[in-house]
Structure 1
Amino acid sequence: MSDDHASGKGRMLTGVAWAVLLLGLWLWGRDLTDGPGGISAPTTGDVAAVGRPLLQVELPEAHDPVTGAKPHRLDIPSLGIAAPVAPRGLDASGAVDPPPYEQPTTVGWFGDGTRPGARGVALLVGHVDTQSKPAVFYGLSSARPGERIKVTGADGSVTEFTVDDVQVFSRDKFDAKKVYGAHQDGRAELRLITCGGTYDHKARSYTANVVVSAYLTGATEAPAARS
């Protein structure tokens, strides 16, 4: 292993950490999805240049929550995202274990939490970059209200979500309740999270997190359930 590779992987291992949605414990001491800082992460919201307001659009009615299935694939056509989803558990420190360093195009789902489509908030996380190129959620900050997100379950069921909020939370403005809490009680909601802002080499972490919020607006049962 070269010194450069070891250094890059070291930054990944110390920088990539995921906030915990477990027993009401909200962690900001370790960043949600810090990547290795090989390229600049996109920014929006409170850390971006002025002049990128989110457009007001008419949003569809919420669909009633469903049972939900373990997610298998995530598609966001407007962003060109089509990625496999893998369940992730907790590491020894109690943080959600991210997808492996070698799998930057895989999205992680907090498997001990809510399933997409079920009542509550399902959490999906992804890397923003690698040492040399964009990763799965590099374009996440470009999402806008009204855009659709499709989650295909392991059983073939499909849940469709509509984006209703896109924000960037810097360290000093991180609001765990706003990030992880349901926007409306009784709904099935989704959070997609990656890092944003700039990479702080001293802290080995990004300065902010991009948070895309969406809610369930459509659901198709698994083929077996429809037969």
Structure 2
Amino acid sequence: MSDEPTSSTGGRLLTFTAWSVLVLGLWLWGREITEAQPVPSAQAGSMFGISLPVAHTPLPGTALPQRVELPAMGVRAPVVPRGLDGQGAVDPPPYATPGVVGWWSGGTRPGAAGTALLVGHVDTASKPAVFYGLSTARPGDTVRVARDDGSTAEFTVEDVQVYERESFDAHKAYGPRVKGRAELRLITCGGTYDKVAKQYSANVVVSAYLTGVTPARGTV
């Protein structure tokens, strides 16, 4: 996610407006969606002629995410916990480090039952950022999240959607696809960039679910 340059460094600095839809979605996700009925799966794998693997049993929810990898896009990035800023907006990774991914620490930990959220910038004023290629993800792609207990949670992408800000549906974006499953959402800005409003017109949301785990060394 990004905005017009507002500093001598040339970096685009996020504003409350740029993140407002995401914040509203998180608020609804935390207070309402977790108790709602699961969202019907888009069956994207079938549309692409592939068979997606069965879901893995959720992992204990005590481990924190440290790194995320998307091999199909060449992404290998550190993950840092993020909360809300003084305005009530999601506090994104520092713009001086556009290669870092933020995990919303008020929600589910990746690999545990529920929906974990990872957010990242799409670009800067001068170059692509960590989630620049997120919209090119396809069902069947792998997402790996290394955790601080030494294990790696492996997710399989099942759906990629672009949600326009004006008609953003938090339930569809963040709601669980299958009750009790460990799910992951990767989120960045998408659509077109409005230089006047200083924001993108949409959010790219990649949905994935846990399909495997590499245990920590020395464990079974």
Partner of residue 7 from structure 2, selected from 2, 5, 8: 5
Match of 2:193, SS state, is strand
Which of 70, 84, 88 matches 1:90? 84
Q: Distance in 2 between matches of 1:65 and 1:209?
A: 27
Root-mean-square deviation (Å): 2.2
Counterpart residue identity of residue 59, structure 2: V
Matches within 5 A, 1:148-187: 148-187=142-181
Which residue number in structure 2 is paired with residue 103 of structure 1?
97
Deviation at residue 71 of structure 1 after TM alignment: 0.5
Q: 2:209 aligns with which of 188, 208, 215?
A: 215
CA distance in structure 2 between the partners assigned to 1:200 and 1:109 by the alignment: 26
The letter of the residue matching 1:64 is: T
Where 2:150 maps in the other structure, the secondary structure is: coil
Preserved CA contact (<8 Å) 2:143 2:155: yes
Report the number of matched residues.
197
Letter in 2 for 1:66: L
Q: Indicate the SS of the match to 1:177.
A: helix
Which of 50, 63, 73 is matched with 1:57 structurally? 50
CA 1:99–1:24 in 2, change beyond 3 Å: closer, same or farther?
same
Q: Which residue of 2 aligns with 1:66?
A: 59
**Structure 2: gaps spanning 5 or more residues:** 34-46
Equivalent in 147, 154, 159 of residue 141 of structure 2? 147
Shift, 1:177, TM fit: 0.2
1:78 Cα offset (Å):
0.6
Distance 2:50 2:166 in 1: 29
Give me the identity figure in percent.
57
Once the two structures are TM-superposed, the CA of residue 166 in structure 1 deviates from its matched residue by 0.2
Displacement over 4 Å in runs of 4+: 6-11
Runs (5+) with no aligned partner, structure 1: 27-53
Q: Which residue of 1 aligns with 2:125?
A: 131
TM-score (norm 2): 0.82
Question: Separation in 2 of the partners of 1:94 and 1:130?
Answer: 23
Deviation of the 1:174 alpha carbon: 1.6
Cα distance between partner residues in 1 of 2:170 and 2:102? 19
Q: Distance in 2 between matches of 1:201 and 1:137?
A: 20
CA contact (8 A) 1:126 1:194 kept: yes
